[in-house]
Amino acid sequence: MLPKCPSLRQLAAVFALGFACAPVAVHAAGNQALITGKIDETQLVALTGNVRPEANARNDRGPVGDSVAFNHLQLLLQRPPAAEAALDAWLDAAQTPGNSNYHQWLTAEQLGEQYGPNPSDIATVSAWLTAHGFQVNGVSPTGLFIDFSGTAGQIAATFKTEIHALDVNGEHHFGNMSNPQIPAALAPAIAGIVSLNDFQPHPMAKMVSKPTALAPMQQASPAYTTDTGYLALVPADLATIYNFNPVYRSGLMGKGQSIVLIEDTDLYSNADYATFRHTFGLNAYKDSTFSVVHPGGCADPGVLVGNDFEAAVDVEWAAASAPDASIVLASCADTQTNFGGFIALQSLLESRTPPAIISISYGECEAALGPSFNRYVSLLYQLATAEGSSVYVASGDEGAASCDANEEAAQYGISVNGYASTPYNLAAGGTDYSDFYSGTTSQYWSPTNSATYGSALSYIPEMPWNDSCSNSTVSNYFGYPLYGSGSLCNLGYFLGVIAGSGGPSGCAYGATNPLPNTPAISGSCRGYDKPIWQKFIAGNPNDGVRDIPDVSMFASNGFWSHYYVVCYSDPANQGVPCDTAPEDWAGGGGTSFVAPILSGVQALVNQKTGFRQGNPDYAYYAFATQEYGSRGNPACNSNNGANACIFHDVTFGDNVVDCTGPFNCYDPSGEYGALSVSSKKYRPSYTAGTGWDFTTGIGTVNVAALVSAWAAVR
């Protein structure tokens, strides 16, 4: 008799070995009405956790005018609990080989019909909004988003919260000063509002950083890749290091596949993309096309300075990974209250032809987003997964302190990127190469470049990407203590919250105050539940929550002499013309590069298998569980160099960043401490180890081995 699927402990074997199993039917639950009582405007409940941390008395500059218009707000609705549970079971079944629902994807309309809110609830909430003077612009096919517009005065009268102007470190913003309130009768059906503030996510890409404070960091061998002493990665290097070349030689370059890069800007120059392809030989692949689209007729954002570097990174390195795939930059202008990239994504997912591969390299602290916006992100990615789309998201560039992006030191403790922490996306982490640290550079890099500027000789051992002074590898390299008054941080070297991000989901479902380590929160935040595919991987803690990252690749922006080349000519943001050798071009790093590169890998998989694959985490974790077993696999250790494993297990280094203050900061002496699980003793947040870990997830990818294993799944 065939075993039933999915058995959680059998899931890895089902994927890796491809054995058959008896199908298990998953049926949609009846979508019962959740609004059963009469609406009483005097009986109100708060939608808690929906005030930005910046909306405080110190930043408050008074209410905006009642007539200020807010267009295209989103009221999020709830599914009935039984429908939510049935959908979760269906999503697992759709990723289980042998199940009758395996890869039987849904449309947005089918998702709404089978698992959406009851139509009577949608009608009741829509009528309530209209009765309060709002314009209802439409309801999404899933039934979960009601698009509406109104004024600040209508918002105050209806949701009992004022919108105030804010001055945040000299920047003008606005936001609601208290939690929105709704009638208690509607509460079972309403999840929240997206959103009542204008805070936008930040792009993850980091411009190249070449340390100058301590001389030894500058002394890479001068003949490798560039004549500046830095090893600038180009597409040919990527293909060599991560073993793309056997896949390319087999005829798989992404032909017939499309990769959609989600943005809120256009490229500074489309010619930069063409130059990148020409310089590195990618224009030899003639089936690839490049297009810029504004889905659903949204406003063209034009060029958003700064974010346009992110867009250049995304399109160029997706193409570097899958050179014959079509590259689609999907951009919408930010609205007053929503990220333009998500406007584009929602329109694409609700279209008749949703994309098969999606890459997102923006982020925001999970806790600061609040439960409504986290729910919005989660619902978008869940819809993508149900449609068979694979969503890759940059895990972040702040170590385990994503609430402190671009700061000199972490203040708010351990936190993650809410754009990457859902169970419905792959969170792409970052590494650096350890050859400079170990003095083996000449072993891995040729003294000359190829015609397309490649010089890498083989796979290179890796460590977590970390530019911070609290990084154990840099402290060891220069002979300084990790913490205390004599540490590099307290001597003023390499301060900054810059490292590949990872940590446990901690505040996807928030409460009174959006920052988890402020007294008002009182422990009321909680993270996303741990998904089934993450429960049995060696090294993953039994913490009950979603942990990131999932998979990593090189992401350094030059700290240990390695960085990525980018053709980016915007002079307003340190761009330079791409009319000389690539060593003189712009460069950078960050997990922003990893998400589009892994999206390109997905294009190779989809071409090989002939099908869209949905959430890639199921396959990645199944293969890793099979490969690592219960205790890890020494044969796969990255320190040993090239091997036949699907994953390179990165086992030394950390993503610890410098910190100040009382939250998750071990600081025995001096101004700066090291991010730690405990503030009373040093428990670093976090270190690499055997199997899965918070620094690089399950490690980095041997692309040829991954594509081969995926193709063998029935």
Report the pLDDT value the prediction gives residue 208, as an integer from 0 to 100: 85
In this predicted structure, the answer to whether residue 76 has a pLDDT above a threshold of 60 is yes
Report the pLDDT value the prediction gives residue 230, as an integer from 0 to 100: 78
Q: How far is CA 271 from CA 136, 216, 279, 391, 579, in A?
A: 41, 38, 12, 27, 11
Residue 516's pLDDT band, with cuts at 50, 70 and 90, is: very low
| Percent with pLDDT over 70 in the chain | 91
Give the closest residue to 688 by CA, choosing from 617, 638, 635, 623: 638
Report the pLDDT value the prediction gives residue 13, as an integer from 0 to 100: 47
The CA distance from 474 to 476, in Å, is 5
In this predicted structure, the answer to whether residue 506 has a pLDDT above a threshold of 60 is yes
Which residues touch 464 (CB under 8 Å, ≥6 apart)? 429, 430, 431, 432, 499, 500, 650, 653, 654, 655, 688, 695, 696
Report the pLDDT value the prediction gives residue 524, as an integer from 0 to 100: 60
Which residues touch 430 (CB under 8 Å, ≥6 apart)? 395, 397, 464, 465, 499, 500, 501, 549, 552, 553, 554, 555, 556, 589, 590, 591, 594, 696
Residue 229's pLDDT band, with cuts at 50, 70 and 90, is: low
Instruction: Look at strands 258-263 and 357-360 and give their pairing.
Output: parallel
Give the closest residue to 672 by CA, choosing from 480, 452, 442: 480
In this predicted structure, the answer to whether residue 502 has a pLDDT above a threshold of 50 is yes
User: Could you give the residue ranges of the DSSP H alpha helices within 614-668?
Assistant: 617-628
CA atoms within 13 A on the CB side of 339: 25
Taking only the tens place, the pLDDT of each residue in 97-108 is: 999 999 999 999
Taking only the tens place, the pLDDT of each residue in 655-682 is: 999 999 899 999 999 999 999 999 999 9
Residue 521's pLDDT band, with cuts at 50, 70 and 90, is: very low
The neighbouring-strand residues paired with 674 are 658, 666
Residue 218's pLDDT band, with cuts at 50, 70 and 90, is: very low
Taking only the tens place, the pLDDT of each residue in 424-455 is: 999 999 999 999 999 999 999 998 899 999 99
Taking only the tens place, the pLDDT of each residue in 140-194 is: 999 999 999 999 999 999 999 999 999 999 999 999 999 999 999 999 999 999 9
| Percent with pLDDT over 90 in the chain | 87
User: E strand or H helix at 593, and its extent?
Assistant: helix 591-609
Mean pLDDT of the chain: 91
Taking only the tens place, the pLDDT of each residue in 305-324 is: 999 999 999 999 999 999 99
CB-CB contact of 331 with 294 (8 Å): yes
Span of 547-551, 559-563, 622-626 with lowest mean pLDDT: 559-563
CA dihedral 39, 44, 50, 55 (to 10 degrees): 130
Residue 636's pLDDT band, with cuts at 50, 70 and 90, is: very high
Dig out the tokens for 636 from the structure: 């796969």
The CA distance from 659 to 455, in Å, is 38
b/e for 537-558, b at 16 or more Cβ within 10 A?
bbbbeeeebbbbbbbbbbbbbb
